[in-house]
Amino acid sequence: MIDEQTQELVLQYLLGELEPSRMEAVRTQIESDAELKTFVNEMEETVGSLAYSVQPIAAPPDIPQRILRAERGPARAVQEAPRSRRAALIPWAVAACLAIACIILGVDRERVRDGLSKELAALRETNAQTSKALTQLEQKSADSEKGLAALEQKNAGAQTELAALRQKAAEQDQAVAALTQKDADSQKELAALRQRNLLSEVKIATLTAQVAKFQQTNAVVVWDTGLRSGVLLLDKLPPPAPGKDYQLWVIDPSKPIPVSAGVLSVPSVGLIRTSFHPTQPVQSAAAFAISVEKSGGSTKPEGQIILLGK
């Protein structure tokens, strides 16, 4: 039975914790004790199995080649180099030189150690400064990346805004075009309305013959209700009989008798076009008539009505 203290000592041996001299003593003890040896073997196996608990990582595949290349190099040199007697002295010469060098180095050892210590301290200082600078650079880099991300975000926002403004401008242009079109339409409509208004203020009446003699006569009255005046067009009206005149009348229902629009001056041949103004204000021109009156005209119709129209 192996006591706990020995077990712990052996484990320290296996884990490589003991000083070299102690290691040798324990090794001797193990070799001389079969039970202890078995225990050590089992424990070595158990300790070794701990490596299985680690996640395996693909190792560089060329390490065996590197090792074999390095191991082969010196051996081949030894085999292939022909050794002359002079060459055989070379190792001794080298050994002698090394011995001399060791003496020199031994003398200089302390000085070199001091120098190395200083250089090591300087390297450590440099390393610390480099680490610090690297940390600062990493911080700066991180800040720059943040700034860049913010700018990119801002730019994306501005692009979106610009696109929205362009869309709005296009819509406004369309609205202006639509309004311009509407305005043109309105102008046209207004012009049409004005035209229609003008026409509504004008009354056209065709006078028809009331006597067979005037069947060939054409007579048209264009009456402007706004201006309360009109134009008479006459064709193929024979000249009046001597001592007689043709007189135009406007029939206004609000008046007891027709209102005279004047005596017509009739040339021998051709078209008569004459404008006329009633002698009294007319409210509504319901009809027009031409009668034969005594020369110079009458204040009310007394002669025969030859032409009449509404």
Partner 1 sequence: MTRLADDPESKFEASLISQIADGDESAFATFYQRLSSSLYGMAYRMMNDAKEAEDVLQEGFTYIWRRAGSFDPSRSTAFAWAVMIVRNKAIDRLRVRQRSERLRERAEESLVQQTDESSAEEPTLRERSAMVRSALQQIPQEQRAALELAFFGGLTHEEIAERLTTPLGTIKARIRRGLLRLRDFLHEEI
Q: Minimum distance from CB of 175 to partner 1 (Å)? A: 59
Amino acid at 309: G
- Residue with smaller CB distance to partner 1, 30 or 306: 30
- Residue with smaller CB distance to partner 1, 58 or 269: 58
Q: Minimum distance from CB of 78 to partner 1 (Å)? A: 16
Token pair in block for residue 152: 């990119």
| CA dist list (Å): 307 to 101, 202, 215, 221 | 158, 20, 9, 11
Contact residues toward partner 1 (CB under 8 A) are: 4, 7-8, 11-12, 14-17, 37, 40-60, 63-64, 66-68, 70-71, 131
- Residue 249 dihedral angles phi and psi, to the nearest 5°: -130, 145
Q: Minimum distance from CB of 103 to partner 1 (Å)? A: 28
Distance CA 103, CA 99 (A): 6
Q: Which residues pair with 287 in a beta bridge?
A: 251
Q: Minimum distance from CB of 106 to partner 1 (Å)? A: 23
Q: Minimum distance from CB of 112 to partner 1 (Å)? A: 19
Q: Minimum distance from CB of 41 to partner 1 (Å)? A: 5
- Residue with smaller CB distance to partner 1, 57 or 212: 57
Neighbours of 9 (CB within 10 A): 18
Contact 211, 304 (CB under 8 A): yes
- Of 1, 29, 5, 27, nearest to 14 by C-alpha is 27
- Residue with smaller CB distance to partner 1, 43 or 233: 43
- Residue with smaller CB distance to partner 1, 135 or 216: 135
Neighbours of 169 (CB within 10 A): 10
Using CA atoms in the order 270, 276, 278, 282, what is the torsion angle rounded to 10 degrees? 110
Q: Which residues pair with 259 in a beta bridge?
A: 250
- Residue with smaller CB distance to partner 1, 67 or 170: 67
- Residue with smaller CB distance to partner 1, 64 or 256: 64
Token pair in block for residue 211: 């006597």
Residues ≥6 apart with Cβ < 8 Å to 202: 222, 223, 224, 225
